Amino acid sequence: MISQNRTILRYGAMAVVAAAFGFPASTADAQANAPKLDDPTIVAIFDAANTYDMETASLAISKGHSKAVRDFGAMLVRDHRNVRQQGRDLARSLKVIPTPPRDFALAKAHVQAMRSLRSLKGRAFDRAFLKHEVDFHNAVLDAVTHTLLPATQNAQVKDLETKVAPAFVAHRDRAQSLLDDQK
């Protein structure tokens, strides 16, 4: 069961987040048929990604085996809450109503990830959580770089996406470092 959960988190995160961000992970034909992203959808995806990572990080605060994982979870909650608020404030000032994509795969993946993480304890939880964070941040960075930024029309939304990218890189790198320390 633990191995299956790791596999879901490891390999599913990239494909599911890719689909949630508007492009299928499998073929160029499917990518060409993906719905066109607009700024309200991009703002909703941005908000959801931050919210979902706050939720998994909150789980790490309460279930983390090591102090380092619990502290990392607290940092993620703080950082993503701040970024989410920046996005919400910007949406409000631009009078953009966030509109999640239909059949939002990211939401479904988040429910599955939370279910998997809740089922784990101790070091197994720490490893699965950290691997999830590495995969999640990689997928978000890839989606922002290759899908969201090119589709974003509003310069202020694009600036926010660009401004927060280094924090996503830092989160991914910290998760990888903590994961490497567990081996």
CATH number of the CATH domain containing 67: 1.20.1260.10
Q: Is the pLDDT of residue 30 over 50?
A: no
Mean per-residue pLDDT for 130-149? 92
- The whole-number pLDDT of residue 27 equals 34
- CA separation for the pair 5, 81 (Å, rounded): 27
- CA separation for the pair 12, 143 (Å, rounded): 15
Mean per-residue pLDDT for 150-175? 94
Mean per-residue pLDDT for 150-174? 94
For the chain, report the end-to-end CA distance as a whole number of angstroms. Answer: 20
Check: pTM over 0.85? Answer yes or no: no
- The whole-number pLDDT of residue 25 equals 45
Q: Give me 63's structure tokens.
A: 């279930």
Q: Which domain holds residue 136?
A: 2-181
Residue 103 pLDDT class (50, 70, 90 cuts): confident
Query: Which carries the bigger pLDDT value, residue 26 or residue 102?
Result: 102
Q: Name the residue with tokens 């990830």.
A: 113
Q: What is the pLDDT of residues 114-124, one digit of tens each?
A: 999 999 999 99
Q: Is the pLDDT of residue 62 over 50?
A: yes
The per-residue pLDDT of the chain, averaged, comes to 84
Q: Which residues contact 11 (CB under 8 A, 6 or more apart)?
A: none
Q: Which DSSP symbol is given to 21?
A: T
Cα angle: 175, vertex 181, 183; to 5 degrees: 115
Q: Which residues contact 175 (CB under 8 A, 6 or more apart)?
A: 72, 130, 131, 133, 134, 137
Total domain count, the chain: 1
For the chain, where are the alpha helices, taking DSSP H only? 2-20, 28-32, 39-63, 67-94, 105-118, 122-143, 149-151, 155-181
